[in-house]
Amino acid sequence: MKTKILVTGANGQLGLTFQKNYNSISDVFEFHFTSRDTLDICNSDQVDAYFAENHFDYCINCAAYTNVEGAETEVKEAFHINAEGPKILAESCERHDVILIHISTDYVFDGTKKTPYLEEDETNPLNQYGESKLKGEHYIKETLTNFFIIRTSWLYSPYGKNFAKTITSKLQKNEALKIVTSETGTPTSSLDLAEFILYLIKTKSKSFGLYHFSASGETTWHGFAIQIAEQMKKSELISKVDSIPMKAKRPKYSVLNNSKASNLTNKSFRWQTSVNSTISELLKS
């Protein structure tokens, strides 16, 4: 029997990663992809009816308000999607015996630590986006026992809107770019994240709880951009800037310790290798 999987927020980059790469594995998985137009995760009646009709085994929640700057002014909307939505999904998962896999963020931390953050480290978001995502985590933990919350960082892919695509596009137009050095984190490929999620499903893992998933290593946004530019032989177009004024505060250091996830799968991904692979893909298109 096929494993039935609901993917919410299917038009975001992680949702698109599943659609573009795994929807064809029809003999193993039966994916149902929904966007806000087809399933509003903040509408409890609609969500519960959809769950009752389809009998899912897993729900991968990729739906999120991800505009970090916008969340500072659209606070209600950010909390509606990032906190109330996951709560409603968790309640339906509880009623219909569905395992929830929810994506969270490194921005739940304040960046004062000097070594990679562990799952049990104290959270202290600096911005409304981080606050809203943390609230969503709390709702899930209060509601469910069988769940996976996966915090990830600096997500990019060949799909949707993300830093890697933006930098690649600008460099293709030979634009000179100033990129900040004030934040340190780990670029993480949505393809690598999707592989981890599918590992949990394929193995029917019962190792429920909170996980940090990122590539291995760390860099700044400037270092990320240089990695892309070197692949394109356009490093001379990238220069450093200490910081850029923004509404939302960001953690200066948000590297995640990914040992719990890598020990589970016996796999790890170097951030440079995954970036190179994605940029190669983008340059073909």
| Enzyme catalytic residues | 129
In the chain, beta strands by DSSP E? 3-8, 29-33, 58-61, 99-105, 147-152, 155-156, 177-180, 184-185, 188-189, 209-212, 219-220, 238-241
Give the whole-angstrom CA distance, residue 207 versus residue 217. 25
Q: Regarding beta strands 99-105 and 29-33, do their DSSP bridges make them parallel or antiparallel, or are they unpaired?
A: unpaired
Q: Are 160 and 106 in contact (CB under 8 A)?
A: no
Report the alpha-carbon distance of residue 8 to residue 64 in Å, rounded: 9
Give the burial class of 120: count Cβ atoms within 10 A of its Cβ; 0-12 exposed, 13-18 middle, 19 or more buried. Answer: exposed
Angle among Cα 68, 19, 33 to the nearest 5 degrees reads 80
> Which tokens go with 159?
């799909």
Do 188 and 224 form a contact (C-beta atoms < 8 A)?
no
Q: CA-CA-CA-CA torsion for 107, 219, 158, 29, nearest 10 degrees?
A: -60
Separation of alpha carbons 217 and 271, rounded Å = 6
- Distance between CA 158 and CA 108 in Å, rounded? 25
102 torsion bin: left (phi>0), alpha (psi -120 to 50), beta (else): beta
